[in-house]
Amino acid sequence: MSGLRAARTYPKTRQVDAVAGVGDAIVDDPYQFLEEDTPQVLSWQAEQNRLARDYIRSWPHFEAVRQAVLQYAKEDWSGVEDEPPVLAGDRWFAKSVPVGQAHAVVRVASSPAEPGRLVVDPRVLTGDDTALITGFSPSPDGRFVVCWISSHGEERVSLHVVDVETGRALPMPSTPRFDSNTASAAWLPDGSGFYCNPLTEQAGRYGPQVVLQHLDGATQLEIGDLETIMILLAVSADGRHVLVIDPVARKPIYTKALSGGAWRPLLRSSAGTFTGTVVDNAFIAITTAGAPRGRLVRIPLVSADDETTWSELVPESTAVLTAVTYRAGVLVLHKLIDTYTRLQLVGLDGADLGEVALPEHGTAGPSTSLMFGDRRPGGSTYVFPFVTFTTARALHELDLETRQLRQLAAPRDRLAGMTTRIERCLAGDGTPLTYHLVHRKDLDLSRPHPVLAHAYGDSRAPWLPTFLGQYRFFLEAGGIYVHPNLRGGGEYGEEFFLAGTLAHKRNTFTDMHAIAEDMISKGITEARRIGVIGESSGGLLAAGAATQRPDLYGVCITRVPILDLLRVVIDPYGLTGVRLLFGDPTTDDGVRHLLTFSPYHLIRSGTSYPAVLLECGESDHRCPAWHSRKTAARLQNSTSSEAPVLLRVWSGTGHDSGIDLDTRYEQLAEWMSFAMMELGLAPTDVE
């Protein structure tokens, strides 16, 4: 067994006689016992945790990085305030983090730029000092607000309804749990209740339901057997319909008139994705049907299954259409060109009303939530955040009547002295790829430098520019940040996504390798001076980088990942997600396919692996900690390198939303220190 630097040793890990797979596709699984949270396993995990924490924090520069995090990250933490204020009645609702606190609250104001007054503090409301708000939805008149609140880092959250005037919670019956990432409410027009999407309580099955929840406490099951891993609910732009959206398939699957009537299937048999909202009894949508980069169409609800009744408003072009929203008779169309956002105004008849001049190349959003439906349209203005790699979130308001764009809130931070550029290369099969580089303007580019790539490449999610405030100390120390665009993501349309999923999932990994090799060939960096970090599916990618091409990478940081793609069969959520995006671990052929990129199974004894940090949340039900436990054990007992393999399990945290800010700062300080330490960078002084 390899030792850590400074003569540290890993906790001893036994091996068992176990196998995984099905039929003739069977492989050894010597660390299968680490899947169980037994006292022995948890004791082993605690020992691993202490080793990882001590190793990272013993780096002489750790405290400098930590202080830099505390100084800069609090100024503009990505993900805390990434959604714009929401208009309901004559009130604007927003989530924000009060000064000196580590959790978000909901505030209400008379305009989108005002700080407003406190309405919901989750810890006061529940009496739980671990409570966090994961989402909220105000009633149409702004009298009530639904909040979803997590506890102890759990990703399954509870629902609370609060009176906006008094701040008091309405007495509600015991409610089921919701998925933190998809919990949503579609309010009835009179504000007497809302449709919501609690999780089914059936044993061994993971899935949502549609329930009508009245404010008097009465409930009614509307749709109970949905064959999908998750749904979102949205009220249409005309306020007359409710939509059930499948965010994985990227299409609405049911609709119902809010005035009454039955649920009707919508576009269930239509190929392609559909993103949009209902206006005047027609679904105005971006679709990839017959247009991989997207076209805007008008689909009458009464004849949605008859494509001959559709009318095209905006044809496919070289731009990738990602989202559309409706305000005051105008459609605001989000487009991507080389991952940068452009906004085009379109009439309901398809008339081109011109582009909106954005401040610079960047991301106008929140494009991800818009792709899942315009949940709360209203008024004659469109309020949206805008970020670049070097400029923090600024809030903008577009007046659809005057076509004037004004900045409501200036960015709270900028990265001075940095430059950004886009690079191009070819994948092994000739597919064009792009990646962005960010570094100091005065960096001497005549010699190679350490690079850190933050990547994803999955689920059609476009990997767009985001503010790099948390990388400030890495960049100032002379590192280069890399933002790769990998197949499996949505940056370049549906074909780009499909080429990195299921039978083609290996392309996501080989694209990362091609970009790494391109940077080496251009003299940007060198082998073993390349770091990769990713979360969730990006964590799978980072682990794949370490196990597929250990010769290329110097450090791989895999956060909240799924890493054993066979044993997800024991987890209903994991099994469903892997089947949808990667392959089927319940069939012989599916197992053989998954074994070509499942990181846990690619580990080979005697291989010199790079430095690896496996970070996960104790309460994460999406990507349970056992994935990281098993992979850490196998890597530690297989690597011939002295580079460390560390397991860091954070208590009281979940996948993403169930993490308070103080913990996020500590996580950032640790993984950034680990990356810089292993890549040979020391932080500059922090004033």
Q: pLDDT tens digits for 422-457?
A: 999 999 999 999 999 999 999 999 999 999 999 999
Taking the C-alpha atoms of residue 192 and residue 188, their distance in angstroms, rounded to an integer, is: 6
Quick check: helix, strand or coil at residue 380?
coil
Average pLDDT over residues 576-595: 95
Range from 81-85, 487-491, 651-655, 679-683 carrying the lowest mean pLDDT: 81-85
Provide the pLDDT for residue 3: 45
pLDDT (0 to 100) of residue 574: 87
The CB-side HSE value for 647 (13 A sphere, CA atoms) comes to 25
CB neighbour burial string for 564-598, b if at least 16 within 10 angstroms, e if fewer:
bbbbbbebbbbbbbbbbbbbbbbeeebbebbbebb
| 3-class DSSP assignment, residue 614 | strand
Note the pLDDT tens digit of each residue in 110-137: 998 888 999 999 999 999 998 999 889 9
Residue 551: pLDDT over 90? yes
pLDDT score at 204:
53
Tokens describing residue 240: 């007359």
Q: Which residue has the higher pLDDT, 68 or 330?
A: 330
Helix (H, G, I), strand (E, B) or coil at 172: coil
Distance CA 367, CA 399 (A): 19
pLDDT at 240: 87
pLDDT for res 10: 94
pLDDT for residue 75 is more than 60: no
Instruction: List, for residues 603-615, the tens digit of each pLDDT value.
Output: 999 999 999 999 9
Q: Is the pTM of this model over 0.85?
A: yes
What b/e string do you get for 665-681 counting C-beta neighbours within 10 Å, with b at 16 or more? bbbbbbbbbbbbbbbeb
Is pLDDT at 76 greater than 70 in this prediction?
no
Which structure tokens are listed for 289? 């049907």
Q: Which two tokens stand for residue 636?
A: 């530690």
Helix intervals (H) in 274-348: none
- CA distances to 278, 453, 568, 570, 627 from 584, rounded to whole Å, are 35, 29, 10, 13, 18
Q: In the chain, what percentage of residues exceed pLDDT 90?
A: 71
Strand pairing class (432-440; 418-426)? antiparallel
Find where tokens 């990769």 sit.
532
Percent of the chain with pLDDT over 70: 93
**Which of 343, 347, 340 shows the shortest CA–CA distance to 311?**
347
* Residue 366 binned pLDDT confidence (cut-offs 50, 70, 90): low
CB within 8 Å of 115: residues ≥ 6 apart: 96, 107, 109
Taking residues 460-469, report their average pLDDT: 92
The answer to whether 239 and 285 have CB atoms below 8 angstroms apart is: no
Residue 85 has what pLDDT?
87
The helix/strand/coil state of 502 is helix
Q: What are the DSSP E strand ranges found in 260-380?
A: 264-265, 274-279, 282-287, 295-300, 311-314, 320-327, 330-337, 340-347, 352-356, 363-364
Task: Grade residue 35 by pLDDT with cuts at 50, 70 and 90.
Answer: very high
484 closest CA partner among 415, 416, 553:
553
Cα–Cα distance list, 272 to 10, 13, 285, 291, 391 (Å) = 49, 48, 11, 9, 35
Residue 625 has pLDDT above 50, yes or no: yes
Contact present, 620 and 561 (Cβ < 8 Å): no
Q: What is the pLDDT of residue 205?
A: 58
Q: Cβ(499)–Cβ(507) under 8 Å?
A: yes
Question: Quick one: average pLDDT of 377-398?
Answer: 87
CA angle 184–469–613, rounded 5-degree value: 80
At which residue do the structure tokens 């067994």 appear? 1
pLDDT tens digits for range 282-326: 999 999 999 999 999 999 999 998 999 999 999 999 999 999 999
Model confidence at 82: pLDDT above 60: no
H/E segment holding residue 494: helix 494-498
What's residue 499's pLDDT? 97
The DSSP secondary-structure symbol of 560 reads S
What was the pLDDT predicted at 312?
97
What length does the chain have?
Answer: 687
As a whole number, mean pLDDT of residues 207-213 equals 90
Starting at the edge strand that comes first in sequence, how are the strands of the sheet with 311-314 ordered? 274-279, 282-287, 295-300, 311-314
Residue 616 to residue 623: CA distance in whole angstroms: 8
Q: Which of 219-233, 387-401, 667-681 comes out lowest in average pLDDT?
A: 219-233
Average pLDDT over residues 369-383: 63
Of 96-100, 169-173, 402-406, highest mean pLDDT:
402-406
Q: Are strands 311-314 and 295-300 parallel, antiparallel or unpaired?
A: antiparallel
**Which of the residue ranges 98-102, 575-579, 666-670 would you say has the lowest mean pLDDT?**
98-102
51 vs 150: which has the higher pLDDT: 51
349-363, 401-415, 480-494, 576-590: the lowest-pLDDT one: 401-415
Dihedral pair phi/psi, residue 125, rounded to 5°: -60, -40
User: Of 147, 184, 150, which is closest to residue 167 (Cα–Cα)?
Assistant: 147
What would the DSSP string read from start to end of 188-228?
A: -TTSSEEEE-PBP--TT---B-EEEEETTS-EEEEE----S
Rank 77-91, 222-236, 394-408, 626-640 by mean pLDDT and report only the highest.
626-640
Q: What is the DSSP string of 64-92?
A: HHHHHHHHHGGGS-TTTS-SPPEEETTEE
Q: What is the Cα–Cα distance from 134 to 394, expressed in whole angstroms?
A: 22
Q: What is the mean pLDDT of the chain?
A: 90
Smallest Cα–Cα separation from 627: which of 593, 600, 596, 591? 600
Give me the pLDDT at residue 687, please: 36
Residue 4 confidence (pLDDT): 59
Strand partners, 548: none
pLDDT score recorded for residue 115: 86
Residue 686 has pLDDT above 70, yes or no: no
Which of 547, 633, 611 has the alpha carbon at shortest distance from 10? Answer: 633
* Residue 551 token pair: 């010769």
Helices (H) and strands (E) in the chain, counts: 13, 38
CA dist., res. 687 & res. 685, Å (int): 6
Q: Write out the H or E segment, with its range, that includes residue 125.
A: helix 122-126
Residue 199 near residue 152 (C-beta atoms within 8 A): no
Residues 185, 191: contact at Cβ < 8 Å? Answer: no
Please tell me what DSSP assigns to residue 308: G
| Res. 380 pLDDT band, cuts 50 70 90 | confident
pLDDT score of 381 more than 90: no
